[in-house]
Chain A
Amino acid sequence: MKTLIATSLLALLAASPSLANKAFVSNERGNTITVVDTDTWEVIQEFDGGNRPRGITLSPDGSKLYVCASDDNLVRVFDTETYRELESLPSGPDPELFVIDPTGRHLYIANEDDNLVTVTDTETRTVLAEVPVGVEPEGMAISPDAKWVVNTSETTNMAHFISTEDYKIYHNVLVDQRPRYAQYTDDGTRLFVSAEIGGTVSVMDIAPDGTPTLVEKISFEVPGVLPEWLQPVGIKITSDGSRIFVALGPANRVAVIDGETLEVLDYIIVGQRVWQLDFTPDEAFLLTTNGNSNDITIIDVAAEKAIKSVQVGQQPWGVVVTPN
Chain B
Amino acid sequence: MVQSLPSYLQPDKRYRLQFGSILPGISARSPTFQSGRREVIVRQIIAPLLAVLVCVGLAGHASALDVKAAVLRIDYPRLLPISRYDLRPDDLGFAGAMLADEDNGTTGTFLGHTYETQQIAVPPEEADAALEQILADGIRLIVVMAEGRDLLRLTDRAAQDDALILNATAPEASLRSEECRASLLHIAPSNLMLADAIAQFSVWKKWDEWFLVSGSNFADTSLADAYRRAARKFGLKIVEERVFADTGGSRRTDSGHVLVQRQLPTFTQGAKRHDVLIAADGTDYFARYLPYHLSLPRPVMGSAGLRPVTFHAAHEAWGTSQYQSRFEALSGRYAHAEDYNVWLALRVIGEAVTRASTVDAQAIRDYALSDAFELAAFKGQKVTFRDWNGQMRQPILLYDGMITVSVSPQEGFLHQVSPLDTLGLDRPETECTSFN
Contacts and interface: CB of A to CB of B under 8 A. Distances in A.
Given A154-B376, A174-B54, A134 B36 contact: no
Nearest to A161: B58
B325 A224 contact: no
Interface in B271-288: none
A113 B322 contact: yes
Contacts of A215: 51
Interface stretch (A9-17, A225-233, A239-247, A298-306): A225-233
A200 B43 contact: yes
Contact of A174 (B27, B319, B354, B419): B354
Contacts of A174: 50, 53-54, 57, 354-355
A160 B43 CA distance: 22
A158 B110 contact: yes
Interface string A106-121: 0000001101000000
A interface majority secondary structure: loop
Interface stretch (B17-25, B86-94, B223-231): B17-25
Question: What interface size band does chain A fall in?
Answer: 35 or more
A216 B47 contact: yes
Interface in A94-136: 94, 112-113, 115, 132, 134-136
B26 A224 contact: yes
A299 B25 CA distance: 24
B interface majority secondary structure: helix
B57 A172 contact: yes
A178 B347 CA distance: 14
A227 B374 contact: no
Contacts, number: 112
A221 B25 contact: no
Interface string B1-38: 00000000000000000000111111110001100110
A176 B374 contact: yes
A97 B55 CA distance: 28
B110 A160 contact: yes
B106 A134 contact: yes
B374 A198 contact: yes
B106 A224 contact: no
Interface string B51-87: 1011101100000000000000000000000000000
A178 B23 CA distance: 27
B110 A214 contact: no
Given A115-B106, A174-B354, A227 B39 contact: yes
Given A174-B355, A198-B382, A221 B33 contact: yes
Contacts of A197: 374, 376, 381-382
B325 A172 contact: no
A228 B381 contact: yes
A157 B376 CA distance: 9
B24 A223 contact: yes
Interface of B: 21-28, 32-33, 36-37, 39-40, 43-44, 47, 50-51, 53-55, 57-58, 103, 106-107, 110-111, 319, 321-322, 325-326, 329, 354-355, 374-376, 381-382, 418-419
Given A178-B376, A226-B32, 11 more contacts: A113-B325, A132-B106, A153-B107, A154-B322, A169-B110, A177-B374, A200-B43, A214-B47, A214-B54, A223-B33, A228-B382
13 contacts: A134-B106, A135-B106, A157-B354, A169-B110, A174-B57, A177-B374, A177-B376, A198-B376, A211-B58, A213-B55, A223-B28, A224-B24, A228-B382
